[in-house]
């Protein structure tokens, strides 16, 4: 991209006084090439705009700007319904919380969001990616026991579901935990199982991470033959240049420890050729990567250039992260130069640091266990206190219930006494009610006789009014019927007269059509004989002209033209006369 931009600006400066279309053409070519370059670098296969946003957000993943850019990318990916881009955006959010010091809740929530989205969109690899980063997050904080428990629970679920990809990722993470605890033998067994699962069931999965960790385990166990074998296998299956170069460095280191110096030269030469201009073979003042230093040191040692190797060994201290391997390179240098005293000091320092680091790991693990047990003990004590308090509260509640029961019994007795008094009052009231009811019955009988007479008078009046109403309705209905009948009859007579008029017009039109058809027949019969003669003459003279036009004299040709013109005029007169007769007849 930088070269393309330079070319564009150079062309703009060169052709600024020329025609404008050249500048437009150059800009168009630059745009097309830029788009092609972005598309080629888009290794995830997502939208190009989203890929550019992801690369920028990933670069700024430890800063708030990267978090905001990832959230914007997530919103646009949701609009485009791009599940993979959504998972990538959430992975940047996870990395932002990963690098914060005291944000465990935010990190775990970010991992959960990414894993839920991975399961929802079908990109399960990001579900396992969240598991791997959770393990690394725990290991970075020296919580090895918690990481071991987390990985074991994950592996148990993967084995129950026969999830090969989950088992592969879980075994790699389990090995990472064992490596952090310096249990390289157990880690190598887990990585061997992961490699077998990958080769049998995951042919499309890149196993270079498994092979790289396995070479480190064999290196720390001093099993350099196995290290060389695994590194060679990883080199053959590596898909990126960086992984191939790292495997070449491991192959060269294992071959050096096995005293196979010819292979060391071949591996180092291939590594230097792959690195190209990034590695300077004749300079000891360059600050290179660790594997660059290692390869150059091994190459100088097998070539007998121990002074240059010594300078590079001293300069290698600028590189961080591979302390024990640096010591072993120095031990190989002392062994090849015969510096046994220096070799003994280095071995002493190597094993002392090894034991110190392992003791620190074990002490940290024991501290974690003690803290866990102490927390569990505190939790049990808190639970016991809560249980005692609950029992005391239950006792108080029982006493309150007993008091409530006594109060309830007293209330029931008072209610029973009230019921008895109420029953006596009800009995007196019933006697009074019976006497009142008797008087009401006598009054109702008298009122019933009066009501019957009134009902009979009202019923007679209602019958009379009903008959009158029915008679009025019949008269109105009959009038409406007669009115509608007269209107319908007038309409039918009008339609009948209109139909008669239409029949007369149709009969006249039919007669006109018959006359026109007869006239057409007569005209065609008359024109047939009259047209044949002039048409035959025109065709004959035209044939004469066509057959002998080259041999005829001009006078003869002119006579033929005159005959054709005369017969044509005659034919036009016949057609005109026939048309006029037809019009007159019509």
Average of per-residue pLDDT across 489-496? 86
pLDDT in tens, 391-443: 878 877 887 888 888 878 778 877 777 777 788 778 777 787 887 787 787 77
**156 and 125 in contact (C-beta within 8 Å)?**
no
pLDDT at 114 exceeding the cut of 90: yes
Asked if the model's pLDDT at residue 1 lies above 60, the reply is no
For the cut 60, the answer to whether the pLDDT of residue 35 exceeds it is no
CA distances to 200, 232, 267, 442 from 236, rounded to whole Å, are 17, 6, 13, 121
> Average pLDDT over the chain, rounded to whole?
79
Kindly tell me if the per-residue pLDDT of 581 is higher than 80. no
User: Among 19-23, 272-276, 389-393, where is mean pLDDT lowest?
Assistant: 19-23
- Identity of the highest mean pLDDT range in 246-260, 347-361, 524-538: 246-260
Query: Which among 163-177, 277-291, 333-347 has the top mean pLDDT?
Result: 163-177
Stretch 250-271: mean pLDDT, rounded? 91
SS3 sequence, 60-82?
CCCCHHHHHHHHHHHHHHHHHCC
Looking at per-residue confidence, does 548 or 486 come out higher? 486
Most confident of 83-92, 179-188, 201-210: 83-92
pTM comes to: 0.54
Euclidean distance between CA atoms 88 and 68, whole angstroms: 14
Is the pLDDT confidence value at 194 over 80?
yes
Please list, residue by residue across 439-461, b when 16 or more beta carbons sit within 10 angstroms of its beta carbon and e when fewer do: eeeeeeeeeeeeeeeeeeeeeee
* Predicted local confidence at residue 11, as pLDDT: 37
Instruction: Provide φ and ψ at 62, rounded to 5°.
Output: -95, 5
Q: Does 27 score more than 70 pLDDT?
A: no
Distance CA 93, CA 362 (A): 33
Question: How far are the Cα atoms of 339, 370, 383 from residue 380, in angstroms, in the given order?
Answer: 60, 15, 5
Candidate from 54-63, 364-373, 514-523 with smallest mean pLDDT: 364-373
Return the structure tokens found at 545: 């002209």
| Closest-CA residue to 150 (of 133, 168, 164, 126) | 133
Distance CA 274, CA 292 (A): 11
pLDDT given for residue 22 in this prediction: 40
For residue 567 the two structure tokens come to: 């017969």
pLDDT score of 26 more than 80: no
What is the structure's pLDDT at 117? 94
Sorted by sequence, the CB contacts under 8 Å of residue 328 that are 6+ apart come out as: 257, 350
pLDDT at 202 over 80: yes
Higher pLDDT, 112 or 558: 112
> What number is the average pLDDT over the span 201-224?
88
Average pLDDT over residues 561-570: 84
Closest CA to 74 of 95, 92, 98, 96: 92
H/E/C letters for each residue in 411-431?
HHHHHHHHHHHHHHHHHHHHH
The whole-number pLDDT of residue 2 equals 34
What's the pLDDT score for residue 366?
A: 61
Q: Count of residues for the chain?
A: 586
What is the band of 539 on the pLDDT scale with cuts at 50, 70, 90? Answer: confident
63: pLDDT confidence band, cut at 50, 70 and 90?
very high
Using the structure block, give the residue that is written with the tokens 């996870």. Answer: 94
CA 337/CA 259 separation, integer angstroms:
14
Residues 335-378: pLDDT tens digits? 888 878 877 777 776 666 666 655 555 555 565 556 556 556 66
**Spatial contact of 252 and 268, defined as CB atoms under 8 Å apart:** yes
Residue by residue, what is the 3-state secondary structure of 83-107? HHHHHHHHHHHHHHHHCCCCCHHHH
Distance from C-alpha of 69 to C-alpha of 53, rounded to nearest angstrom: 7
Q: How far is residue 577's CA from residue 526's CA, in Å, rounded to a whole number?
A: 11
Q: Decide if pLDDT at 192 tops 50.
A: yes
Residue 21 has a pLDDT of 37
Structure tokens belonging to residue 361: 């790991």
**Higher-confidence position of 262 and 537:** 262
Q: How far apart are CA 83 and CA 395, in angstroms?
A: 58
Band (pLDDT 50/70/90 cuts) for residue 222 is confident
- Look at residue 350 in the predicted model and tell me its pLDDT: 66
* Cα separation, 233 vs 430, whole angstroms: 110
Residue 282: count of CB within 10 angstroms of its CB: 7
* Residue 462 pLDDT class (50, 70, 90 cuts): confident
pLDDT of the residue at 3: 32
561: tokens are 């033209």
pLDDT at 183 over 90: no
The per-residue pLDDT for 16 is 38
CA dist 39 → 34, 49, 61, 81, 438 (Å): 9, 10, 23, 19, 108
């Amino acid at each position: 991209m930088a070269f393309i931009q330079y070319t564009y600006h150079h062309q703009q400066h060169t052709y600024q006084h020329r025609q404008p279309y050249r500048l437009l053409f150059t800009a168009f070519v630059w745009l097309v090439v830029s788009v092609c370059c972005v598309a080629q670098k888009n290794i995830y296969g997502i939208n190009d705009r989203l890929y550019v946003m992801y690369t920028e957000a990933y670069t700024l993943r430890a800063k708030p700007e990267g978090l905001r850019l990832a959230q914007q990318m997530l919103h646009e990916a949701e609009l485009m319904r791009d599940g993979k881009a959504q998972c990538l955006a959430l992975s940047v959010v996870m990395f932002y919380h990963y690098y914060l010091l005291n944000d465990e809740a935010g990190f775990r929530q970010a991992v959960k969001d990414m894993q839920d989205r991975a399961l929802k969109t079908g990109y399960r690899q990001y579900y396992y990616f969240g598991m791997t980063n959770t393990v690394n997050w725990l290991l970075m904080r020296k919580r090895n026991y918690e990481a071991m428990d987390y990985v074991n629970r994950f592996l148990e679920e993967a084995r129950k579901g026969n999830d090969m990809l989950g088992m592969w990722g879980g075994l790699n993470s389990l090995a990472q935990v064992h490596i952090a605890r310096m249990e390289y033998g157990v880690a190598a067994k887990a990585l061997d199982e992961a490699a077998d699962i990958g080769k049998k069931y995951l042919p499309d999965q890149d196993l270079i991470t498994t092979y790289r960790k396995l070479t480190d385990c064999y290196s720390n166990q001093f099993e350099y033959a196995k290290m060389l074998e695994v590194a060679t296998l990883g080199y053959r299956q590596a898909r990126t240049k960086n992984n191939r170069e790292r495997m070449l460095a491991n192959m060269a280191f294992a071959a050096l420890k096995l005293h196979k110096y010819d292979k060391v030269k071949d591996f180092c030469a291939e590594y230097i050729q792959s690195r190209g201009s990034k590695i300077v073979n004749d300079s000891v003042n360059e600050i290179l990567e660790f594997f660059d230093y290692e390869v150059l040191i091994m190459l100088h040692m097998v070539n007998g250039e121990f002074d240059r190797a010594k300078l590079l060994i001293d300069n290698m201290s600028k590189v961080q992260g591979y302390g024990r391997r640096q010591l072993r390179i120095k031990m190989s240098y002392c062994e090849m130069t015969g510096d046994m005293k220096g070799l003994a000091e280095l071995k002493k320092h190597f094993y002392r640091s090894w034991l110190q680091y392992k003791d620190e790991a074990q002490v940290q693990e024991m501290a974690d266990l003690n803290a866990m047990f102490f927390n569990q003990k505190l939790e049990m004590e808190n639970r016991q206190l809560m249980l005692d308090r609950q029992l005391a509260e239950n006792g108080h509640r029982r006493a309150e219930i007993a008091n409530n029961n006594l109060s309830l019994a007293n209330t029931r007795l008072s209610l029973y006494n009230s019921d008895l008094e109420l029953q006596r009052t009800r009995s007196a009231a019933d006697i009074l009610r019976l006497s009142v009811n008797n008087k009401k019955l006598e009054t109702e009988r008298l009122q019933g006789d009066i009501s019957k007479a009134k009902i009979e008078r009202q019923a007679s009046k209602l019958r009379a009014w009903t008959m009158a109403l029915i008679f009025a309705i019949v008269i109105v209905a009959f009038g409406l019927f007669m009115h509608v009948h007269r209107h319908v009859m007038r309409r039918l007579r009008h339609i009948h007269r209109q139909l008669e008029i239409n029949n007369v017009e149709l009969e006249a039109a039919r007669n006109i059509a018959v006359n026109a058809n007869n006239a057409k027949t007569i005209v065609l019969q008359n024109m047939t004989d009259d047209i044949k003669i002039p048409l035959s003459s025109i065709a004959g003279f035209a044939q004469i002209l066509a057959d002998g036009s080259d041999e005829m004299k001009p006078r003869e040709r002119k006579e033929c033209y005159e005959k054709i013109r005369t017969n044509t005029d005659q034919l036009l007169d016949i057609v005109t006369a026939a048309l006029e007769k037809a019009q007159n007849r019509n």
